[in-house]
Structure 1
């Protein structure tokens, strides 16, 4: 799947990559809900996470799910993307390195799905569009 925006003739479009963040409260059941998107644009040296947890949907998958723990994990991901003090040790890494680290396969309650790519003339607007389409 590839997404595009900004289809005007003279608008410079850039490659971007994205992954959906998913909460998987019980790995053995393989049930999940979308809780965010990670969006990365190499040419802009930019990475961002937009997140939202619907605790009722999470508890529909597992009544004992730790919604507060999922929220803490999502805030940590947002901080890593933002860089600076909020990123902790990852602050010294490039936007691309942080994106790759966050999208690496892992067995945690919050994990990234596969990475997809597309073209956009506005990576920030693209992040908002993907968030609205895939999470909200």
Structure 2
């Protein structure tokens, strides 16, 4: 691929919502999907101190397990259960579907990039870290 080839991609920010009733959240991950290259991946970072400040009773290991599940869905491996066996576009659809759990996807956004993997790292740094 040449350096000037721009690829369309979509992404969702994964939010940890310690207490749904308070509608507060902390961004903990980003999922990037690029149809043209069959790229689907997640990058995440859990700031345990920050999340504990929102809710000291939050099970942070459970948050990390939920993010590992998303990793499995994206990678198409056993960590993602049955969802990981679907075609890549359906796996992204699964990941971006709204849920009322502690880990929730935000709205879908899009853009163009020459390198989806590098874009994922950029988004993680910009939106999560």
Please classify the TM superposition score into its range, dividing by the shorter chain length: over 0.9
Aligned match of 1:33:
26
Number of residue pairs matched by the alignment:
128
Aligned match of 1:131:
124
Query: What TM-score, normalized to structure 1?
Result: 0.89
User: How do 1:20-59 and structure 2 match up within 5 A?
Assistant: 20-59=13-52
- Write out the 4+ residue segments of structure 1 that deviate beyond 3 Å after TM superposition: none
Report the alpha carbon displacement of residue 11 of structure 1 after superposing the two structures with TM: 1.1
Which of 76, 89, 94 matches 2:87? 94
Which of 66, 70, 85 matches 2:59? 66
Structure 1 gap ranges (5+) = 1-7
Deviations 1:90-116 (A, max 9, x none): 232111111111111110100100000
